[in-house]
Amino acid sequence: MTASATVSIEDLDGVDPKTFQRRWLILATMCLSLVLIVATVSSVNVAIPALSESSLHPSATQVLWIVDAYALVFAALLLPAGALGDRFGRKGALLVGLVIFAVASAVCAFMTNANALIACRAVMGIGAALIMPSTLSLLQSCFPRRERAKAIAMWAGFAGAGGAIGPVIGGLLVGYQSAYDRQCHPYG
């Protein structure tokens, strides 16, 4: 008999038994989503010198907007997006946010104009604003009260980890791009 089979209905605090059985997988998914959006905030800071010298030819102001457009839109829409998720469905808000974020991220990779990159980063912020509050509210509905604090602590820890992972990943990507450019264009 498994540990989850010995849990009584009263111990679930209204959590669906099928959801209860998958709660740790759900937590892992929510934490991965959170790390993704938090790492995106900090990863671009490492790329500022490479952005300044890129084929986009951004002005100093455009470089600042490339970095800040995502965080500004994300922060501005965080509360309204959470309210939309509560009203129309948290899972739907999470999925829509992930699709918006993924599509905008992919489009960012192919931008040839600084202003278009700024706009794509702002759209990524919309997706992130839908993702973050959904992850936390879904955890509230997947864990009974006795496990909720542990789940939220893990969620918060992964948020912090995302902030630390972002510059490392950004640095690796910039380094890889620099090595690729030197290999493909050895004479500049």
Task: Provide, for the chain, the percentages of residues in helix, strand and coil under a 3-state DSSP scheme, each rounded to the nearest 5.
Answer: 85, 0, 15
Specify if 30 maps to a domain.
Answer: no
Tell me how far the alpha carbon of residue 84 is from its chain's centroid. Answer: 18
Mean local confidence (pLDDT), 163-170: 91
Give the pair of three-digit tokens for residue 32. 């991965």
Which percentage of the chain shows pLDDT scores above 70?
90
Specify if 58 maps to a domain.
Answer: yes
Domain total for the chain?
1
pLDDT for the residue numbered 1 = 42
| Domain encompassing residue 90 | 36-42+51-161
Specify if 132 maps to a domain.
Answer: yes
pLDDT for the residue numbered 130 = 97
Specify if 174 maps to a domain.
Answer: no
pTM here is: 0.85
Specify if 16 maps to a domain.
Answer: no
Average pLDDT, the chain: 88
Could you tell me if 74 and 125 are in contact, meaning their C-beta atoms sit under 8 angstroms apart? Answer: yes
| 8 pLDDT tier (thresholds 50, 70, 90) | low
| 53 pLDDT tier (thresholds 50, 70, 90) | confident
